[in-house]
Each structure stands twice: as C-alpha cells, then as structure tokens.
Structure 1
Amino acid sequence: MAFAGMQARIADLFQSSASLCYVVLPAASIFLFDTWIPLHFAVAVLYIVVVVLATLWFKRVGILRTAALCAALTCLSFIITHGPNPDSSAAARTLISLGAIAITTKLALLNIATRERLIAVGKEKDNLARFFPQSIVEQIATNDVALSTTRYDPAAVLFVDMIGFTKFCSAMQPQDVIAMFRELLCTLSDSVFEHHGTVDKFTGDGLIAVFGLPVSNDLSATNAVRCALTMQARLQAWNDARAASGQEAVAVAIGIHYGDVVLGDVGCESRLELTVLGDTVNVASRVENHCREAKASILITDAVVRRMQREGSEGTVCRFTDRGFHTIRGHSEALRLFAFPRDAAPSTN
C-alpha cells in the first residue's frame, strides 16, 4: 500500500502515470548504472536523454520536474559513490552532467515555447480566415503593424441584408432557418473573399464587408461593386436550385459607399472586436435600406462611381443607372445614387 501511494504521488508530479515508464524508470536505470559500476566517466550526462523524452510527453512543469529529478539523482549518486571527500575529477564530471541537464532543459523549454507559438499563429490564422481572404491573412500574419492598430483610411463599405426576413422565416422551422442562413452567408462571404474584401461582421440575415482595409488595395471600390454583382449572380443560381425543390426564392439588397472610415478595436477588454466606424459605414447602411424603396438589388453612391472611374472601371460603372439625388433616412444631405435593377441579369463579367 505504501509503495502504491508513493507511486501515485510520483505520477502526480509528472502529470500522468505514463511518466513512470517514460521518465522515472530510465532515470532510475541511469542512477543505478552511474552509482554502482566501477567505470569512472560522466554517465550522468545520459540524463539529458530523460529530459528530451520528457518533452514528448509533458509541458513546462513536467519538464522542470524531470530536470529536477535528474539533477537530484546526479547529486545523490555523487554522494553515495564518493562520500564526503571526492576527488576533483569526480566533482568536475558531476558539474558537467548538471550543466548538460540545465542546457538540455533550457533548450527543451525553448522548443515548447516555439511549438506553442506556432500553434497560436495557426489558430490565429484559422480565426482570421473566417473574416479575411487567404491572401490578406498571410499579409497580416507577416505584418509588423498590429492588426488592431487604430487607423483612419478610405475604404469601400458594403452592406447586404435579406429582404423580407421576418415574413420569410415565420413559415419555417428553426433548424431550417439556421441551415438556410448558413448556406446564404457562406455564399455571400465567399464572394467577399474572392474580391479581396474582409467580412467586418455577420448581421444575422446579412453581413458588412470592407474593401481596402486592413490591407490597402488600388481597386477597393471596383472590388466592392464586382463583389455585389457576384453575390446577386450566385443568389440567382441558388434560387434556381431552391425552386427546383419547391423552396421559396431569397432576395437580398446591397448598398455600397466609399469614404474614410475608422478601423479599430471596440468593446470591453474581455471581448474586443475589430470593426470599422464612421459616417461612411452609416451611409452604406442607409443606402442598402433604400434599395427597397428604389426597387434596386444594388445601390451605389456617387462617391463609389467616382472612385471606380479613377480605378479605370468605366465598364462596370456603365452597368448602373443614374437615379439622381435621393434623401435617405438618417442623412441630412441628398445623395446621388446609381442602381442595378432587380430584374437585370447580374453577371460578373
């Protein structure tokens, strides 16, 4: 019973009972070999193998405890073998062994730190991939400037929301609503990523996308508008498939505005969210909401058109109809809007 209790306590020190095989037994074998063989050389250096084995099974605490065990056994073997009056060569061999254990332990801890850093970077990339295209994820990962650094830069902001959300969902089962929205949001976000945009946030029945931040792009307005056209084209194809199975068609409205935005972290310390703020974001939201009144599937502002012209995208601009000036809710000044009609074919060419 006493032996079993001691065995359990030793196992607790090394985080699992497997350590009795992978750490304690090799260490004990080296101790016996070092203490009772008549050969006089630094057998204790072999303890570094035990420390290396510990890196395969344990985290920092387990490795430090393994190193402490090895150092203790080295000193105990020295005392048993040489007594109170050791010769200088024996002391030197022991010091060499202790130094080797210390160096190996340091390298093992550095290896764990590097491994954890790589895992953290991988997790961060996986998280960023939910909101950024892969090309931007790689740039962010190698950028010396923190992603959360507050900045004030021009960008194109795209709002897309489902039309008739409440009525549409009232006749569906909850699980069918969630399944439908997952498929819809996946289609929308894929279109954003393909056009070098970032998903600022999902809004339940739509999303907010930004083009030109956090990595600048010379075609930010063009990419935003082409993304909107791609969204509507894919939505049409998706609705054709839904109609074949007797499901109701889904319609979305898209509004785009171009201008300066603030990019930064908002929220409390326990839950920060990187987002864009400012009048450009508010206007894009109002423009999207105005699509219903204007009977347009996509509405873009004059600022977007002027930016696209500077980007050399007159061909895309020509696909939109000038609707003149409109006063939109929540905005004092009239905005010149350009529309893509609901009944137009939204090809991406």
Structure 2
Amino acid sequence: MSSLPVAIAGVQVRIIDLFKGRASLGYVVLSATAIFLFDTWSPLHFAVAVLYSVVIVLATLWFKRLGTVRTAALCASLTCLSFVITHGSDLDGSALARTLISLAAIAITTKLAVLNIATRERLIALGKEKDNLARFFSPAIVEQIAKNDIAFSTTRYEPAAVLFVDMIGFTKFCSVLRPQDVIAMLRELLCMLSDSVFDHHGTVDKFTGDGLIAVFGTPVSSPLNATNAVRCALTMQERLQAWNETRAAMGQDAVAVAVGIHYGDVVLGDVGCESRLELTVLGDTVNVASRVENHCRAANASILITDAVVERMEREGSDRTVRRFTDRGLHTIRGHSDAIRLFAIPRDAEPAIP
C-alpha cells in the first residue's frame, strides 16, 4: 500500500471538509443555472455546455457517487433544454453537433468523477484499515500484509511462539488508586508492553485488561519466532525496571509483570459473530502459555519459558539467550496432564538482553 495515494485521498477529504456545512447543493444549482443561461441566450456559438463538466467536478467535492450522478443528470437535462429553447425542432447541423459534444463531455466527466470517488473511498478505507492494523501489528508487518495481500480469513495451523504477560497485584492497585489513575497507569503500561512486542516483530493478539497476549509467527512468520518472543520478554522487564525507577522518583509504587512463553502449533482464524469478528489464535499452545504465565507467581520468576521454546531457540542459533535462563525442572501445569520442563529468569535477576 503506497502512502502517496493515501495522502492524496487525505487532501481530498480535507478539501471536502472545508465546504461541509455550507449550501453545497446551492453552489451546484447556481453554477449549472449560470451556464444554462449563458448557453441559452448568449449570441456566442460554441459548446458552452461543455462547462457543465466543471460543475460535475465540483460536485465530487461535496457528494458521493449518487449525488454526482444526479448532478450530471441535471447538467444533461439543462443542455437538452437549452437546445430546445434556442433551436426548437430545427435540427441545425452545427448546433446539434455542439449539443452532442457537450453531452459526451458530461458523460465522460461523470464516468471519471465516479471512478475518482470510488478510488478515494477505497484509499480512505485502506488508510483506516492500515491504522487499525497498526494497533496490533508492527509497522514492518503492516507493510508486508498490505504489500503481499495476506488473507486473514483463511483458517489454518501455524507454528508460533505465544507470549502471555500480566500485571501482578492489579487488584491492590485498584483498591488504593482513583479510577482515573488506574486507567492512566494501565495505558502507560500496555503502551510499553505493546511497543516491546512490535519492536521484536510480534503481533498483539488481544489486550487482557492488565496485560496482553502476543504471537510471534502469525500472520507473517520469521526464522526467529521463539528468539523474538524471548527477547521481547526481556525487553519488557528491562523497560519495566526503568519505568519503575521513574515511578519511584514520583513517589509511586513499583509495577511487576509475569511473562510466560510456549512454542507450538496454533489455530489462526476469525472468531465471533458476523457483526464482530476477531482474528485470534487458539489451541493447546495458547493454553499452555497462559498456564506458564500463571505459574510465575509460584516459581518466583519474572519470565518462564517451556522446553519447546528452548529447543526452538537452539535451532534458531540463540544459545547465548538460552543460557540466561535457569532450568527449573519438570512442573505440572494446571489443565495440562503432562509435566512440562520450565526455564526461568528469577524475579530479582537483571533482565539484560544478550
């Protein structure tokens, strides 16, 4: 999706907004009437009615396709009426030719105007869609989606790393802070967390109130999906530490988050009803990542990852990042029958990114 056509469409919208609230229909009628009077009673003999094309072009600034077509019909009717008033049933060759030329000009201008309106509406819609995608995808992924026309509606299995991050002790903050302060804190926190996701080529699957779910590998895959997810988690903790230092200087309490990551196949598809569909990931990988994040409290860990993540990172050549984690052995995760080997960054460890 080129930014230039979207910018041109934006300029057209601003021009339209300039005339909003004014008697746009009056301008069209007044212009058409002036041309009609000049065409009918002027002694000059040339295709004055061609000037109706200007009226149609002006109509595109105020009206949509239907209004533009109606304006064109008005201009064509006035052209024919002018011919009848001036020449009656005397089909003079030159006069008839001028009238036909004017009608052809009106038809061509109308066709081009309707195409322009359709293009403008499509570009505006694409611009809005791009802005909406930017809420959940990194700029690089948005551009790739737009360039390659990646279909979201195709339900499929995809290997991906799923990251859950959640604020610890959110209820306590709600009990001591004013509602507006809680919302302000959450907005700042979620902005920081989502920026970390985008910086590591991930996708925000959804916001969960005091946290978020991120996916690395959909809808655009990368050879470093697991590595990107883990480095994203480390970045989150690093930025959180710096943010807490700022909060401490302002006399505010520190904020802590827990991060859990699992790697495996996920189901990617649209869920919901027809009036509100949501692209999301589902499956056992997502469930395990959620349980691993919940287990951070009991394990006194800021980040927990599974052995599937470690194995994938080793295949991706990220052994140095793997060595940052401590093997915590096998753990039974609620809702999962098999024990899972977990690797942790302790809560009091430095979250430096290797």
* TM-score normalised to structure 1 length: 0.93
Aligned to 1:314: 319
Q: How does 1:35-50 map to 2 (within 5 A)?
A: 35-50=40-55
User: Runs of 4 or more off by more than 4 Å in structure 1?
Assistant: none
Deviation at 1:46, TM superposition (A): 1.4
Tell me by how many angstroms 1:38 deviates.
2.9
Structure 2 residues not aligned, in runs of 5+: 1-19
Structure 1 partner of 2:213: 208
5+ residue gaps, structure 1: 1-13
CA distance in 2, matches of 1:16, 1:242: 50
State which of 165, 186, 189 in structure 2 corresponds to 1:160.
165
Structure 2 SS opposite 1:347? coil
Q: Does 1:327 align with 2:338?
A: no
Q: Which digits, 9 at most, give the CA deviation of each residue in 1:55-96, with x for residues without a partner?
A: 222222321221111111100001011112322332222122
Q: Give the C-alpha shift of residue 187 in structure 1.
A: 0.7
Aligned to 2:28: 23
State the Cα deviation string for residues 238-283 of structure 1 (Å, max 9, x = none). Answer: 1111111221111111000000001110000011110000000000
Q: How far 1:37 sits from its partner (Å)?
A: 2.4
How far the C-alpha of 1:338 sits from its partner, in A, is 0.4
Aligned equivalent of 2:259: 254
Q: 1:98 aligned to 100, 103, 117, which one?
A: 103
CA gap of 1:60–1:16, structure 2 versus 1, over 3 A, is farther
SS of equivalent residue, structure 1 residue 142: helix
Query: Displacement of 1:15 after TM fit?
Result: 9.3
Partner in structure 2 of residue 268 of structure 1: 273
Query: Identity over aligned residues, as a percent?
Result: 81
Structure 1 window deviating more from structure 2 (111-120 vs 136-145): it is 136-145
Q: What aligned pairs does 1:99-118 form with structure 2 within 5 A after superposition? A: 99-118=104-123
Which of 223-232 and 31-40 deviates more? 31-40
Q: 1:1-349 residue pairs with structure 2 within 5 A?
A: 17-20=23-26, 22-349=27-354
In structure 2, what is the Cα distance between the partners aligned to 1:228 and 1:24?
A: 63
Q: Can you list the C-alpha shifts for 1:274-310, whole angstroms capped at 9, x where unaligned? A: 0000000000000000111111110000000000001
Name the TM-score, length of structure 2 as normaliser. 0.92
Counterpart Cα distance in 2 of 1:167 and 1:47 = 69
1:169 deviation in Å?
A: 1.7
- Residue 3 of structure 1 is matched in structure 2 by none
2:148 aligned counterpart, secondary structure: coil
CA RMSD for the aligned pairs?
1.4
Q: Are the counterparts in 2 of residues 15 and 58 from structure 1 also a CA contact under 8 Å?
A: no
3-state SS of 1:116 partner: helix
Equivalent residues of 1:302, 1:338 under 8 A apart = yes
- C-alpha separation between the residues in 1 aligned to 2:83 and 2:114? 27
Matched residue of 1:145: which SS?
A: coil
Q: CA deviation at 1:16?
A: 5.5
Q: CA deviation at 1:147?
A: 2.1
Describe the superposition over 1:11-39 as per-residue Cα deviations: whole angstroms up to 9, x where unpaired. xxx9952332x322221222122112233
Deviates more, 1:281-290 or 1:91-100: 91-100
- Per the TM alignment, residue 198 of structure 1 is displaced from its structure 2 partner at its CA by 0.5
State the distance in 2 between where 1:15 and 1:342 align: 59
Further displaced range: 25-34 or 109-118: 25-34
Decide whether the 8 Å contact of 2:173 with 2:182 is kept in 1.
no
- One-letter amino acid matched to 1:18: S
